[in-house]
Amino acid sequence: MQIIDGKATSLVIQQEIKELVEQRIAQGQKRPHLAAIIVGDNPASRAYVGHKIKACERVGFQSTLVECSDNIQESELLAEVEALNQDDAIDGFIVQLPLPDHIDEQKVLEAVTPTKDVDGFHPVNAGRLSLGLPGFQPATPAGIIELLKRYGIETSGKHAVIIGRSAIVGTPMTLLLSRNAQPGNCTVTMCHSRTQNLAEITRSADILVAAIGRAHFVTKDMVKPGAIVIDVGINRIPDPSKKSGARLTGDVDYDAVAEVAGHITPVPGGVGPMTIAMLLRNTLDASASS
Task: Count how many Cα atoms sit within 13 Å of the Cα of residue 103 in the half-sphere of its side chain.
Answer: 25
Strand order in the sheet with 62-68: 62-68, 33-39, 92-95
CA separation for the pair 185, 29 (Å, rounded): 38
pLDDT (average), residues 58-69: 97
Which residue among 119, 206, 251, 253 is the active-site one? 119
What pLDDT is stored for residue 270 in this prediction? 97
Instruction: Quickly name the fold that domain 139-272 has.
Output: Rossmann fold (3.40.50)
Give the model confidence (pLDDT) of 205-260 as tens digits: 999 999 999 999 999 999 999 999 999 999 888 888 888 888 889 999 999 999 99
18 is a catalytic site residue: no
Can you give the pTM of this predicted structure?
Answer: 0.95
Instruction: Give the Å distances, CA to CA, from 132 to 38, 86, 166, 225, 243.
Output: 31, 28, 19, 32, 46
What pLDDT is stored for residue 272 in this prediction? 95
What pLDDT is stored for residue 87 in this prediction? 97
137 is a catalytic site residue: no
Interacting residues of 247 by C-beta distance below 8 A, sequence separation 6+: 236, 237, 239
Q: Does residue 75 contact residue 104 with C-beta atoms inside 8 Å? A: no
What pLDDT is stored for residue 149 in this prediction? 98
Is residue 290 pLDDT above 80, yes or no? no
CA separation for the pair 156, 239 (Å, rounded): 40
Checking DSSP bridges between strand 235-238 and strand 246-249, what pairing results, if any? Answer: antiparallel
Is residue 28 pLDDT above 90, yes or no? yes
Please determine whether the domains at 28-113 and 139-272 fall in the same fold group of CATH. yes
pLDDT-wise least confident of 45-49, 112-116, 167-171, 279-283: 45-49
Mean pLDDT of the chain: 96
Give the model confidence (pLDDT) of 1-23 as tens digits: 999 999 999 999 999 999 999 99
What pLDDT is stored for residue 243 in this prediction? 83
7 is a catalytic site residue: no
Which residue among 5, 14, 52, 137 is the active-site one? 52
What pLDDT is stored for residue 224 in this prediction? 98
3-state secondary structure of 202: helix
CA separation for the pair 189, 174 (Å, rounded): 8
pLDDT (average), residues 134-148: 97
Superfamily of domain 28-113: Leucine Dehydrogenase, chain A, domain 1 (3.40.50.10860)
CB atoms within 10 A of CB 10: 25
Which residue among 91, 96, 117, 231 is the active-site one? 96
3-state secondary structure of 43: helix
pLDDT (average), residues 64-73: 96
Closest CA to 51 of 14, 101, 99, 91: 14
Q: Does residue 65 contact residue 36 with C-beta atoms inside 8 Å? A: yes
What pLDDT is stored for residue 244 in this prediction? 81
pLDDT (average), residues 140-159: 98
Closest CA to 118 of 232, 269, 289: 289
| 244 burial level (CB within 10 Å; 0-12, 13-18, 19+) | exposed
What pLDDT is stored for residue 239 in this prediction? 85
Domain limits, the chain: 28-113, 139-272
